[in-house]
């Protein structure tokens, strides 16, 4: 259904990575699901559209969670004293094995989908598990949330758990083809993405097969890259001919290309060489600082990625990240970058608030096309937020209020969430 209307309120969005533009008590116009821009005075041509008055409330772009594991949602916040490889074998793989049971998946994915609806997230790139039926159940549920997603049925044919590993590369590829066939034409806003878990989980044959499938069918790929030191050492052993982790994906044909860019989560240890490969393939980096701190993985040099012109968005990486709260994730990204500057390399300046807000909105949004800001022609993804319970002794500018809500969202309420012009969530008292 075509949707055209005007929202009135305190509007803020990134004009570019370094600038947040604001319109206090301004107007935001949506015509047929597309943003026509923000204005201080409503242009004549839009005066006949219905106008919803949110005076005194903040209106900001919806946020993109560029990396999140749906089946891990229900065990978020536990096992957090472990590092990556132990956390995967002790918590993650045994939990994901339960998704062989469709009834289990139905219930657990209901928790995920219901909670996702209530978050700041309007777009997400999601990992499921190796199970076709459960993945389709997740996609069915996500379609109904209104959030636009890429969802991946995971591939793993080695180094899994006794109950979480496919029999062979051939079986994994066949299962993936069957999944794609079954969902073909089924959704409007839920798209498949090929999902080799990471190099240690996928034989060369499987990774190559997925790279070929992506190319033949014009599909995108998501995976993990250079997250943890032990993982990186392991990848060196597994693909000795590669000169770095990204080169291993490149050799196996899974780095993607401009028309179908890949998403790689983490890149904590990506050096000049790895950045060159990411850039060459137009890959997106999902920066997951909450996860990287929880699993003591390290701090990604995000400023360097931005300077190199690499596309960077923010991922919650639930359950290594302990919540789906993108606003908290903006704060984590800023704070981690401040510690990188102070403790690791003082030539790499900390992220500014503008840059971090940009990454969470327009930076990750770019993975979905013209998404994540309120410039003319962008898809209309917007959040109406109530920050009126945050006491202060003076009037704040809109820019100050947006920064404040990211540093402390305890009293912040999402009143409305619009995706592609559709109202997908409304707060009930």
Contacts to ligand GUN by CB under 6 A: 69, 84, 88, 92, 197-198, 224, 227, 291, 317, 320
Q: Residues 177, 213: contact at Cβ < 8 Å?
A: yes
Task: Choose from Fe ion, ligand GUN, none: what does 197 bind? Cβ within 5-8 Å by kind.
Answer: ligand GUN
Least Å distance between CB 421 and ligand GUN?
33
Task: Map the footprint of Fe ion across residues 228-287, applying CB under 5 A.
Answer: 265
Least Å distance between CB 198 and ligand GUN?
4
Q: Which is nearer to ligand GUN, 116 or 128 (CB)?
A: 128
Query: Which are the contacts of 84, defined by CB distance < 8 A and separation ≥ 6?
Result: 227, 228, 230, 231, 295, 297, 320
Token pair listed for 168: 């062979």
Q: For residue 157, state whether it binds Fe ion (rule: CB under 5 A).
A: no
Least Å distance between CB 277 and ligand GUN?
19
Task: Choose from Fe ion, ligand GUN, none: what does 135 bind? Cβ within 5-8 Å by kind.
Answer: none
Least Å distance between CB 366 and ligand GUN?
23
Inter-axis angle of helices 169-183 and 132-145, nearest 10: 40
Token pair listed for 300: 């990604």
- The CA–CA distances, whole Å, from 94 to 80, 169, 179, 413 equal 16, 21, 23, 35
Task: Choose from ligand GUN, Fe ion, none: what does 290 bind? Cβ within 5-8 Å by kind.
Answer: none
| Minimal CB distance residue for ligand GUN | 320
Q: Residues 372, 148: contact at Cβ < 8 Å?
A: no
- The CA–CA distances, whole Å, from 421 to 57, 263, 365 equal 18, 26, 15
Q: Which is nearer to ligand GUN, 60 or 108 (CB)?
A: 108
Residue 63, Cα to own-chain centre: how many angstroms? 8
Least Å distance between CB 291 and Fe ion?
7
Q: For residue 354, state whether it binds Fe ion (rule: CB under 5 A).
A: no
Residues binding Fe ion: number (CB under 5 A): 2
Q: Residues 209, 62: contact at Cβ < 8 Å?
A: no
Task: Map the footprint of Fe ion across residues 308-347, applying CB under 5 A.
Answer: 317
Q: For residue 65, state whether it binds Fe ion (rule: CB under 5 A).
A: no
Task: Choose from ligand GUN, Fe ion, none: what does 222 bind? Cβ within 5-8 Å by kind.
Answer: none
Task: Choose from ligand GUN, Fe ion, none: what does 374 bind? Cβ within 5-8 Å by kind.
Answer: none
Starting at the edge strand that comes first in sequence, how are the strands of the sheet with 5-16 ordered?
Answer: 34-39, 19-31, 5-16, 51-61, 382-386, 413-419, 422-426
Least Å distance between CB 48 and Fe ion?
47
Q: For residue 10, state whether it binds Fe ion (rule: CB under 5 A).
A: no
Least Å distance between CB 227 and Fe ion?
8
Q: Which is nearer to ligand GUN, 69 or 287 (CB)?
A: 69
Q: Which is nearer to ligand GUN, 84 or 382 (CB)?
A: 84
Q: Which is nearer to ligand GUN, 36 or 224 (CB)?
A: 224
Q: Which is nearer to Fe ion, 265 or 283 (CB)?
A: 265
Q: Which residues bind Fe ion (CB under 5 A)?
A: 265, 317
């Amino acid at each position: 259904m075509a949707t055209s209307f005007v929202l009135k309120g305190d509007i803020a969005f990134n004009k570019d990575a370094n600038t947040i533009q604001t319109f206090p008590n301004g107007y935001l116009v949506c015509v047929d699901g597309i943003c026509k821009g923000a204005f201080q005075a409503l242009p004549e041509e839009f005066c006949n559209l219905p106008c919803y008055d949110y005076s005194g409330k903040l209106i900001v772009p919806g946020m993109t969670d560029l990396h999140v594991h749906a089946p891990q949602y229900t065990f978020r916040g536990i096992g957090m004293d472990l590092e990556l490889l132990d956390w995967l074998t002790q918590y993650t793989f045994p939990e994901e094995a339960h998704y062989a049971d469709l009834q289990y998946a139905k219930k657990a994915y209901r928790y995920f989908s219901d909670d996702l609806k209530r978050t700041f997230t309007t777009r997400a790139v999601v990992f499921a598990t190796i199970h076709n039926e459960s993945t389709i159940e997740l996609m069915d549920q996500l379609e109904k949330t209104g959030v636009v997603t890429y969802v991946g049925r995971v591939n793993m044919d080695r180094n899994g758990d006794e109950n979480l590993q496919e029999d062979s590369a051939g079986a994994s590829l066949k299962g993936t083809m069957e999944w794609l066939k079954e969902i073909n034409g089924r959704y409007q806003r839920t798209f498949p993405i090929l999902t080799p878990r990471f190099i240690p989980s996928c034989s060369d044959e499987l990774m190559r097969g997925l790279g070929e499938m992506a190319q033949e069918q014009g599909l995108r790929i998501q995976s993990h890259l250079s997250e943890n030191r032990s993982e990186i050492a392991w990848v060196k052993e597994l693909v000795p001919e590669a000169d770095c982790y990204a080169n291993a994906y490149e050799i196996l044909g899974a780095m993607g290309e401009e028309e179908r860019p890949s998403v790689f989560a983490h890149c904590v240890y990506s050096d000049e060489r790895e950045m060159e490969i990411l850039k060459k393939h137009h890959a997106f980096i999902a920066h997951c600082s909450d996860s990287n701190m929880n699993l003591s993985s390290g701090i990604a040099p995000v400023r360097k990625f931005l300077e190199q012109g690499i596309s960077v968005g923010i991922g919650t990486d639930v359950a290594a990240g302990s919540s789906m709260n993108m606003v908290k994730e903006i704060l984590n990204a800023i704070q981690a970058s401040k510690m990188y500057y102070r403790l690791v390399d003082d030539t790499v300046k900390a992220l500014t608030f503008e840059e971090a807000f940009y990454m969470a909105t327009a930076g990750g949004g770019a993975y979905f096309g013209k998404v994540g800001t309120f410039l003319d022609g962008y898809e209309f993804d917007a959040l109406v937020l109530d920050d009126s319970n945050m006491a202060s002794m003076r009037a704040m500018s809109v820019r100050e209020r947006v920064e404040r809500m990211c540093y402390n969202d305890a009293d912040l309420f999402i009143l409305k969430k619009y995706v592609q012009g559709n109202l997908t969530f409304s707060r009930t008292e």
